[in-house]
């Protein structure tokens, strides 16, 4: 669909020129980066340098390895560390929550500046971008997920969508997988007869790591911003988006607005200016509501399929 191509040519050239002149990117270096180099560079040589340079693929790799090692420790030795990181996570979410309360004012100012500088026609570009995200979410939510439920658990597509109606409405209104979790658990247990020992494990875990709608949105957003700035993504760059969006979605908290924070990680990984986030902030709230539906339906689909595989339904 190439939503980024609808921006005026002179606007795109100005954005690109400003970005190159800022010295934030070495275009020749980016263009010469191969897929093999990208995969090899995921493993950090210097962990401290990874944090200082905000190399998010390396940081995520370190976090995964650190988490695996922590789980292998005896419980009495690993628990203090887990409690510490849980506290850090809670504090980080609270900071984001405070920031998001002021975000509407910042979004208004950013959009006013952008429209004043580039003209109202940039709103057409945002509309096309929004429709691209909505189309992707629609296909994933109402075609792909129900198909897998039908294929793997024999629950009909109509039955799955009708019985999940209340969950979808709540997910849309709250934009939070965590807030929707109690209703999701009740629905799969009462309407699909999934045992509680399966739902109580799969659904809370899914609300934390199974952010398929968020990953889809972040992929579209990253490509859109690259198109707006006129930055051509190589195959290695596109695969980096897939990998980073998946890993970032796993680490995204199930609360409103956090997806836009992890998007910055993806943009940095593919050397696309994170300033481009300002372009999409104005339409992010409605897209956040829609992608939460996909997130919670993915969790429910997983619980139903697992219960079927265990011959519990």
Query: Could you write out the three-class secondary structure of the chain?
Result: CCHHHHCCHHHHHHHHHHHHHCCCCCHHHHHHCCHHHHHHCCCCCCHHHHHHCCCHHHHHHHHHHHHHHHHHCCHHHHHHHHHHHHHHHHHHHHHHHHHHHHHHHHHHHHHHHHHHHHCCCHHHHHHHHHHHHHHHHHHHHHHHHHHHHHHHHCCCHHHHHHHCHHHHHHHHHHCCHHHHHHHHHHHHHHCCCCCHHHHHHHHHHHHHHCCHHHHHHHHHHHHHHHHHCCCCCCHHHHHHHHHHHHHHHHCCCCCCCHHHHHHHHHHHHCCCCHHHHHHHHHHHHHHHHHHHHHHHHHHHHHHHHHHHHCCCC
Lowest mean pLDDT among 133-142, 236-245, 258-267: 258-267
- Whether 225 and 264 have beta carbons less than 8 Å apart is answered as no
> How far is the CA of 92 from the CAs of 22, 46, 89, 195, in angstroms?
30, 25, 5, 34
Q: What is the mean pLDDT of the chain?
A: 82
Which residue do the tokens 């952008």 mark? 114
**pLDDT tens-place string over residues 55-83:** 766 777 888 888 888 888 888 888 888 88
- pTM, whole model, 2 decimals? 0.73
pLDDT-based confidence at residue 281 (cuts at 50, 70, 90): confident
Distance between CA atoms of 300 and 155, rounded to whole angstroms? 12
Of 201, 191, 177, 231, the C-alpha closest to 19 is 231
- Whether 40 and 57 have beta carbons less than 8 Å apart is answered as no
- 68: which residues sit within 8 A by CB, 6+ positions away? none
Is the pLDDT at 32 greater than 70, yes or no? no
Q: What is the pLDDT of residue 83?
A: 87
- Whether 272 and 231 have beta carbons less than 8 Å apart is answered as yes
With a pLDDT cut of 70, the percent of the chain lying above it is 85
Distance between CA atoms of 121 and 182, rounded to whole angstroms? 43
Is the pLDDT at 22 greater than 80, yes or no? no
Q: Looking at per-residue confidence, does 139 or 51 come out higher?
A: 139
Is the pLDDT at 24 greater than 70, yes or no? no
Q: Which tokens go with 97?
A: 């929550």
Distance between CA atoms of 43 and 58, rounded to whole angstroms? 6
Q: Which tokens go with 7?
A: 């921006």
Q: Looking at per-residue confidence, does 181 or 304 come out higher?
A: 304
- Domain boundaries defined on the chain: 3-43+93-309
Q: Which tokens go with 90?
A: 């809670």
pLDDT-based confidence at residue 112 (cuts at 50, 70, 90): confident
CATH class label, 3-43+93-309: mainly alpha
What CA dihedral angle connects 79, 81, 83 and 88, to 10 degrees? -170
């Amino acid at each position: 669909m190439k939503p980024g191509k609808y921006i005026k040519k002179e606007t795109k050239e100005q954005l690109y020129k400003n970005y190159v002149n800022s010295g934030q990117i070495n275009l020749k270096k980016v263009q010469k980066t191969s897929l093999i180099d990208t995969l090899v560079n995921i493993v950090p040589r210097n962990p401290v340098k990874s944090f200082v340079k905000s190399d998010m693929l390396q940081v995520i790799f370190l976090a995964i390895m650190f988490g695996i090692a922590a789980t292998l420790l005896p419980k009495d030795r690993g628990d203090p560390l887990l409690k510490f990181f849980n506290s850090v996570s809670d504090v980080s979410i609270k900071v984001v929550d405070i920031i998001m309360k002021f975000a509407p004012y910042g979004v208004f100012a950013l959009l006013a500046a952008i429209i004043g500088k580039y003209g109202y026609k940039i709103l057409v570009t945002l509309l096309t971008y929004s429709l691209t995200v909505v189309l992707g979410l629609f296909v994933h939510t109402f075609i792909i997920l129900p198909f897998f439920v039908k294929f793997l658990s024999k629950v009909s597509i109509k039955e799955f969508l009708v019985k999940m109606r209340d969950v979808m409405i709540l997910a849309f209104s709250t934009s939070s997988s965590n807030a929707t979790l109690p209703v999701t658990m009740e629905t799969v247990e009462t309407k699909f007869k999934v045992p509680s020992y399966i739902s109580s494990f799969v659904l809370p875990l899914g609300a934390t790591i199974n952010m398929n709608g968020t990953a889809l949105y972040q992929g579209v957003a990253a490509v859109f911003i690259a198109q707006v700035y006129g930055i051509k993504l190589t195959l290695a760059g596109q695969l980096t988006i897939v990998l980073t969006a998946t890993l970032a979605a796993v680490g995204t908290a199930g609360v409103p607005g956090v997806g836009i924070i992890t998007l910055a990680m993806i943009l940095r990984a593919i050397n696309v200016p994170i300033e481009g986030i300002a372009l999409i902030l104005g339409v992010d709230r409605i897209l956040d509501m829609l992608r939460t539906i996909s997130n919670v339906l993915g969790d429910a689909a997983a619980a139903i399929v697992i219960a079927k595989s265990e011959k519990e339904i």
